[in-house]
Structure 1
Amino acid sequence: MRGQLTMLTPIELLAAGTRIFVAVVAVVLIYQVITGAIVSRGLLTDKEAPGTFSPVRFQLLVFTIIAAGQFLLSADLSQTKDASLPGINDELLYLLAGSQGIYLTGKGNSVFGLAQSIKFLR
């Protein structure tokens, strides 16, 4: 028959709604950053030397976005299997933990000095 409609299962409907919600949130956040409603000035600058680029903050931002994107993608793909949250990829977890460690070491260095930061890590 022509024009026959198929019904979506509740999981398929929920997965589609989740994709739409995440896409709308991403578009709204990007729009607010572009228009200045969310202030991003100074996000990637070093607090010790105002106006200079901070590679530590940049890598933290990039790896956090990558980890969040990977988790959302794996959560979306898991909707076809069962109704549970996906596991976290071990390599991604190590990468994110290393990124956080680099940021915290840099933060400790700027607050306490290099000697105190190394002493704190022991």
Structure 2
Amino acid sequence: MQSTRHVYKPIPLRIIFILNAIMGLLPFIFYYVITSKNINIGDIQPIWMIYTGIAYFISFISLVVFILKRNLWAARVVFFINILVAIPAKAYIGIVVAVISILLSFYNKKVSTYFNS
């Protein structure tokens, strides 16, 4: 019989996970509100929110895979890519979430211990 080792996922890692999940939903919510209420958002076309949401969704799936494989550097690359994805749509919330995720991945010992165990 094969034994399975259960390793507790630290709260900062759960925060990273939840923030990135929410970040994947927000562009679609913003798109709905802006298009249904005919809100003008300057020179940005609302379709950029859809593109941004799709990119965040793909990055979230990648993040989940990298967390399960315990590949911290790949997860950090995902966070950096999220910053690049946010720039065209001026998605400042996405940039903040990515920066928080990067900081937690570098400066929280519980996160680095989880990936190194």
Q: TM-score range with shorter-chain normalisation?
A: 0.3 to 0.5
Larger radius of gyration: 1
**TM-score between both structures, scaled by the size of structure 2:** 0.39
Which structure would you say has the larger RCO, counting Cα contacts within 8 Å and 6 or more residues apart? 2
**TM-score between both structures, scaled by the size of structure 1:** 0.38
